[in-house]
Amino acid sequence: MPSYELECNLPGNTANMENMVRAVDPEAVFTTGSADYRIEITVSGTKQELTCEGRIGGRQAAQISFTDREISDPRYGMDAFAQRQKEMVRKGVLLLLQKSGASPLPWGILTGVRPSKIYHYLRDLGFSPAEVEERLRDQFVLVPEKAAHLTAVGEVQRPFFRKVAGRLSIYVGIPFCPTKCHYCSFASHPLTTHAHLVEGFLVALAYEIEEIGKALTRIGLSPATLYIGGGTPTVLTVSQLRDLLNRISHSFPLGELLEYTVEAGRPDTLDREKLKLLRDYGVTRVSVNPQTFNPCTLARIGRKHTVEQLEAAVALVRTLDFPCLNMDMIVGLPGEGEEDWDDTLEKLLAYQSENITLHTLAPKRAATWDFSQVKAEIAEERVACWLETSRTRLSSAGYYPYYLYRQRRSVGGQENCGYTLPGWEGIYNIIMMEERSTVLGLGGGGMSKWFDPVSLKVSRTPNPKCPATYRGRIKELVAEKVNRLITSAN
């Protein structure tokens, strides 16, 4: 494992530099003294002009120097200077590593989950889309395709910020699945081992839904969007599902709901009766997730469903007239090559689902798989190309991108991106990623995000992922949430 020693003249930049190095070299370890590489960064100057100088010593020594006068633009506020210094430190590190042999990173110095945040920050300051795109390339070192992609996504999203201003959304987490997919790192417990926890969990969830419903009615707030996710909510029995949907419809003021989504990801949990229930209770958007159309890969990744089950589930969704169908796919699955992805894409497009979400495989430590065992079978160097081809083919079929996010360790440093046919943007996805309104997270692993419209910042309060812990703490969790809701309404 390559070791790095990092030094910067600005205090408090160690984690900043380490993040950047790890984005280039995920195996990096950090030491003081006798490292393979020593990186030194010096950032100096004023609000009118900042200069970064850097050197990397070791096997491939190199130096860089660049100046930034763009920070003098009067549209930036006082807080921008400290932020720009940090960005220049990251940029210095990245340019040094590239100069000593590393490949360019698709997302440059944007190492976080939400690259679109910087887009909206700059647009809010008054920069035009073209000006932001230019800055994404120059200051943030995005490759041109990603800068253009992010600009396209950002412009689709902005009207939705106005649409949901002053409103909140609700997420309900059902943290169970029939079995655990090998690559999964979500808050999901397989029924094969955790079925005994379901009833107790649902009792606690019923209490949370009723109490939050009462609070919302009391303060006169109606949700803009509602999303039941997980896990796989449709793993519940028909009677459990009916009870849940019934409680939701009687507890929450849903009169002005813009979108009601249920994750029905695993086709092996679906039948006509469950889907009809969803439709009868007003669900407008369901997600049925093929991930791949290759049956061997499906078996390999532990999905435990067949392509035929997927086809049957989608046919039911269409027969029952759900307005919006989303299909999730994963690019870069082990053992898949050019022909597999081509074939999957062709089959996917034939469904003409209103939404398509392309995920890049992200080998996470929380997954049951030991990814080091399958690393050699992941076509890491081809993933960028497949995503690009997909973008082109989706665009020809009438889709455009509307939300995106990144995950640490995703193959090739690529992103996850949601595409839509015109007018079918998944509004909850935009809200949840861009954090421009409050989301109440109920159920297992539900994350509440409290949005402050003045600072545009969010604070988070998580529900436990473990169903038993959730049940044990339910009174305290609900009391905190209700209290915060009432306080923020006053």
| Chain positions contacting ligand SF4, by CB under 6 A | 177, 180-181, 184, 186, 188, 230-232, 265-266
Q: Which is nearer to ligand SF4, 266 or 382 (CB)?
A: 266
- Kindly state the smallest distance separating residue 152's Cβ from ligand SF4, in Å: 28
- Kindly state the smallest distance separating residue 346's Cβ from ligand SF4, in Å: 24
- Kindly state the smallest distance separating residue 293's Cβ from ligand SF4, in Å: 17
Q: Which is nearer to ligand SF4, 192 or 319 (CB)?
A: 192
Q: What is the DSSP string of 54-65?
A: EEEEETT-EEEE
Q: Which is nearer to ligand SF4, 140 or 369 (CB)?
A: 369
- Kindly state the smallest distance separating residue 465's Cβ from ligand SF4, in Å: 12
Q: Largest alpha-carbon pair distance within the chain?
A: 67
Q: Which is nearer to ligand SF4, 391 or 406 (CB)?
A: 406
Which is it for strands 259-263 and 285-287: parallel, antiparallel or unpaired? parallel
Can you tell me which residue has the tokens 């800055």? Answer: 135
Contacts with 292 (C-beta within 8 Å, 6 or more apart), sequence order = 298, 301, 329, 330, 333, 336, 340, 344
- Kindly state the smallest distance separating residue 279's Cβ from ligand SF4, in Å: 21
Q: Which is nearer to ligand SF4, 160 or 186 (CB)?
A: 186
Question: Shortest Cβ contact with ligand SF4: which residue?
Answer: 184
- Which residue stretches of 108-174 are H helix? 116-124, 129-138, 144-163
474 contacts 481 by C-beta, under 8 angstroms: no
In Å, how far from its chain's centre is CA 108?
18
Q: Which is nearer to ligand SF4, 328 or 435 (CB)?
A: 328
Phi, psi of 489 (to 5 degrees): -80, -20
Distance between CA atoms of 416 and 421, rounded to whole angstroms? Answer: 17
135 contacts 71 by C-beta, under 8 angstroms: no
- Kindly state the smallest distance separating residue 263's Cβ from ligand SF4, in Å: 8
- Burial class of residue 174, CB neighbours in 10 A (0-12, 13-18, 19+): buried
Q: Which is nearer to ligand SF4, 232 or 390 (CB)?
A: 232
- Kindly state the smallest distance separating residue 230's Cβ from ligand SF4, in Å: 6
Distance between CA atoms of 443 and 459, rounded to whole angstroms? Answer: 18
